[in-house]
């Protein structure tokens, strides 16, 4: 059994094939954390349990005055506010007395096969025999709060998940000020680095690694979405960890709203990692008997460097987070008209693009922003989700019939959560937008955010989307979201519930997404938020692909896709070939390179194909054929990042290896040309004992030669040039 309880020592041991996570019901029934890392044997559990000297100045109430125990020094399993553990707290509950002191102790536990669903929220899932769960019930004897800690281990994957349920089991109301979904105390973080993914519009998920310092390092969002600025991901790794060696602990929050992720190092070099809903702007009221469910955190330990950690996240998300038919089904190559036409299109222009696209091997036309209401610029009509028949003569039905008749699928853009100031919807229902009494509403991209905590707003949106969906044969929706939230209040909620709006918004969004997917189970949903502003695991539960960034330049995309791949699989990353000079950065790159980079994602095009020369069209035709040829190894294979685009900013390389290690695909891109005689790239992930044929050169070399000596690139490639090499094992 992957999860064991040892009654004598009162120790819980949660094992995967490669990891152990150990904690104990310790002094006075407090839960004490003992260990997380590479697998340890069951024989030494006694050794792992420990005492910590109580310093005279460490606060402890009389009944816990014990010379070997101090909540402020010991490693606690789930830290509480204001009762002696003065490091970052996981839980803070405001009692009806107005005081926020919180203190929980162990009551009971259950261990069972499988993984419970988190009702109404996205989470990883497991089939029969794929996971085991531990629930630990704790109680605060003073406030009457009951707290259940959930732990699930995916034994074969080296991953585990956690979430929390808080129940008001008292007779008085209470308010949750802060509830983290995971807390992990490390006993030695002296030589650890802190990794996170920061960014901005057009520059999402930049990788940053720096020594963990004393004090708290944190990333967060209070924008209402997980955001471009910081991804809900952090990792701690040993200072000597590399891409393929060393220890890495990754934490990723399955939530698309405000979050906090922090690591706090104390003077002894211990560290506490916390991850959960951002307490700023959050206060959740619980009447007696009510419960609150804090979202899931995924925790991955790898002894094989960052690459090892990423591959565990990728497998987990591909197989236990993405759902529905599109989890397995091959994604269609799409052509999106946004960068081809922006708002200036009609049905003939779209048909013309689709016709050319179909001839080249593209399988779906996506009609982007501008098809509804009076939407000819970004300044109007969001919320008015009816077709603009002046633009699309004959309506959506006619257009989709023509596209379908070509043999192509049809997809459409929506930005359901928004309303334009200039829209029929806002004129009719100004109170449907998020707002705070007497406070001017901030505008961004000339739009407001609808209050998704309101059932009437969600019903309206569902009906609008349903009408459109039922009027034509629509295979795909791109679900966009283009601004942060401000003045976050709801006209429907009473004052002591207003700080719940951020989270209620997110729950409302989940409900609407689920409703749409239930009504249209074959729909392929692609998430988008001004590019990749909501690229998080919560979205991947609904949408198996997410538009990675509005920056479509192949060279900029190297960094963006590299950073995104730190925890998200390439099968979820929207990546398109766009026009040159690139619309975002003005750079011109070869069409081959644009294709090679976009192929490390859910492949598509975003340019006016009718303007391509015959020679360029031939390249596109070849790329579409390659996409099918390499689909399996790219989408279901393991990713090995070989050369980081940030290392010296001259080149970047990565490869995919099939699970059986019989096939591999290497992509190499030159960011800035340098003169050299011969250049070697060492491959990774191959079987050292197998021979591989390089399909491009015909050369046969063994796996160990390719991995240790490397593959030689004899010619000097020019700026932005790239090469792809396909390796097949020979028997």
Active site residues: 480, 550
d(CA 156, CA 161): 14
- By beta-carbon proximity to ligand GLA, the closer residue of 81 and 420 is 420
d(CA 75, CA 525): 43
- By beta-carbon proximity to ligand GLA, the closer residue of 369 and 553 is 369
Sheet containing strand 722-730, strands side by side: 638-643, 651-657, 663-670, 722-730, 691-694, 700-702
The alpha carbon of 503 is separated from its chain's Cα centroid by a whole number of angstroms, namely: 18
- By beta-carbon proximity to ligand GLA, the closer residue of 573 and 657 is 573
**Letter string b/e over residues 310-342, b meaning 16 or more CB atoms within 10 A of that residue's CB:** bbbbbbbbbbbbbebebeeeebbbbbbbbbbbe
Half-sphere exposure of 383 (CA within 13 A, CB side): 26
Binding stretches for ligand GLA (CB under 6 A): 338, 368-369, 378, 413, 480, 482, 528, 530-531, 547, 550
d(CA 145, CA 93): 8
Paired tokens of 615: 């020679």
Smallest gap, in angstroms, from Cβ of residue 586 to ligand GLA? 18
- By beta-carbon proximity to ligand GLA, the closer residue of 279 and 411 is 411
Q: How many residues does the chain have?
A: 731
Q: In whole angstroms, how far apart are CA 242 and each of 247, 273, 453? A: 9, 21, 44
Smallest gap, in angstroms, from Cβ of residue 129 to ligand GLA? 41
- By beta-carbon proximity to ligand GLA, the closer residue of 193 and 369 is 369
Smallest gap, in angstroms, from Cβ of residue 594 to ligand GLA? 17
| Residue facing ligand GLA at closest CB distance | 369
Smallest gap, in angstroms, from Cβ of residue 623 to ligand GLA? 21
- Dihedral (Cα; 392, 394, 396, 399), 10-degree rounding: -80
Residue 595 phi, psi dihedral angles, 5° rounding:
-70, -45
**CB within 8 A of 401, min separation 6: which ones?**
472, 473
d(CA 636, CA 102): 46
- By beta-carbon proximity to ligand GLA, the closer residue of 378 and 716 is 378
Smallest gap, in angstroms, from Cβ of residue 585 to ligand GLA? 16
For residues 531 and 172, is the Cβ–Cβ distance under 8 A? Answer: no
Smallest gap, in angstroms, from Cβ of residue 528 to ligand GLA? 5
Provide the 8-state DSSP code for 718.
Answer: P
- By beta-carbon proximity to ligand GLA, the closer residue of 338 and 725 is 338
Smallest gap, in angstroms, from Cβ of residue 607 to ligand GLA? 13
- Dihedral (Cα; 680, 686, 688, 694), 10-degree rounding: -60
């Amino acid at each position: 059994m992957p999860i064991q309880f040892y009654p004598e020592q009162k120790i819980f041991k949660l094992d995967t094939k490669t990891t152990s996570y150990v904690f104990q019901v310790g002094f006075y029934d407090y839960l004490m954390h003992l260990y997380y890392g590479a697998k340890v044997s069951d024989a030494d559990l006694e050794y792992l349990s420990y005492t910590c000297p109580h310093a005279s100045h460490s606060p402890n109430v009389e009944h816990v005055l014990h010379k070997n125990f101090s909540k402020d020094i010991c490693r606690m399993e789930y830290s509480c506010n204001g009762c002696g553990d003065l490091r970052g707290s996981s839980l803070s509950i405001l009692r009806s007395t107005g005081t926020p002191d919180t203190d929980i102790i162990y009551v009971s536990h259950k261990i069972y096969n499988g993984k419970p669903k988190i009702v109404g929220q996205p989470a990883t899932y497991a089939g029969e025999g794929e996971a085991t769960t531990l629930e630990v019930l704790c109680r605060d004897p003073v406030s009457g709060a009951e707290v259940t800690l959930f732990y699930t281990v995916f034994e074969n994957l080296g991953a585990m998940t956690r979430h929390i349920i808080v129940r008001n089991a008292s007779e008085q109301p209470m308010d949750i000020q802060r509830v983290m979904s995971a807390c992990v105390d490390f006993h030695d973080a002296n030589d650890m680095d802190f990794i996170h993914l920061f960014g901005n519009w057009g520059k999402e998920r930049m990788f940053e690694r720096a020594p963990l310092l004393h004090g708290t390092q944190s990333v967060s969002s209070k924008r209402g979405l997980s955001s471009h600025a910081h991804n809900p991901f952090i990792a701690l790794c040993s200072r000597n960890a590399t891409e393929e060696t060393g220890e890495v602990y990754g934490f990723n929050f399955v939530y698309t709203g405000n979050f906090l992720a922090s690591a706090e190092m104390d003077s002894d070099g211990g560290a506490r990692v916390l991850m959960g809903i951002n307490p700023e702007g959050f206060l959740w009221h619980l009447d007696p008997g009510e419960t609150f469910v804090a979202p899931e955190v995924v925790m991955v330990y790898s002894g094989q460097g960052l690459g090892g950690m990423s591959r565990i996240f990728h497998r987990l998300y591909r197989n236990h987070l993405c759902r529905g038919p599109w989890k397995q089904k091959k994604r269609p190559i799409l052509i999106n008209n946004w960068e081809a036409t922006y708002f200036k299109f009609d049905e003939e222009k779209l048909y013309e693009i689709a016709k050319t696209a179909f001839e080249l091997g593209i399988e779906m036309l996506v009609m982007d922003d501008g098809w509804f209401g009076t939407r000819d610029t970004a300044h109007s009509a969001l919320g008015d989700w009816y077709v603009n028949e002046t633009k699309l003569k004959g309506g959506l039905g006619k257009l989709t019939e023509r596209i379908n008749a070509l043999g192509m699928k049809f997809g459409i853009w929506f930005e359901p959560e928004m309303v334009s100031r200039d829209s029929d919807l806002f004129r009719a229902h100004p109170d449907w937008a998020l707002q705070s009494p007497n406070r001017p509403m901030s505008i961004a991209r000339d739009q407001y955010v609808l209050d998704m905590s309101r059932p009437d707003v969600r019903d309206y949106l569902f009906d609008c989307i349903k009408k459109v969906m039922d009027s034509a044969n629509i295979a795909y929706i791109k679900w966009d979201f283009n601004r942060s939230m401000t003045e976050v209040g709801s006209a429907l909620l009473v004052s002591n519930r207003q700080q719940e709006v951020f989270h209620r918004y997110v729950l409302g969004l989940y409900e609407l997404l689920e409703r749409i997917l239930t009504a249209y189970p074959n729909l392929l949903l692609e998430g988008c938020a001004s590019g990749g502003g909501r690229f998080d695991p919560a979205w991947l539960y609904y949408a198996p692909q997410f538009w990675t960034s509005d920056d479509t330049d192949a060279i900029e995309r190297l960094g963006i896709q590299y950073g995104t791949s730190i925890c998200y699989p390439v099968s979820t990353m929207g990546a398109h070939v766009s026009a040159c000079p690139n619309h975002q950065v003005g750079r011109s790159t070869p069409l081959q390179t644009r294709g090679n980079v976009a192929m490390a994602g859910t492949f598509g095009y975003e340019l006016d194909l009718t303007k391509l020369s015959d020679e360029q069209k031939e390249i596109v035709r070849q790329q579409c054929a390659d996409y099918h040829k390499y689909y399996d190894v790219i989408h279901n294979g393991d990713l090995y990042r070989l050369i980081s685009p940030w290392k010296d900013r001259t080149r970047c390389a990565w490869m995919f290896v099939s699970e059986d290690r019989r096939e591999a695909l290497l992509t190499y891109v030159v960011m800035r040309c340098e003169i050299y005689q011969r250049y070697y790239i060492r491959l990774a992930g191959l079987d050292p004992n197998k021979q591989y044929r390089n399909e491009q050169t015909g050369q046969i070399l063994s796996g160990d030669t390719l991995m240790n000596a490397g593959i030689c690139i004899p010619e000097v490639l020019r700026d932005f040039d790239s090469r792809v090499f396909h390796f097949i094992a020979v028997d």
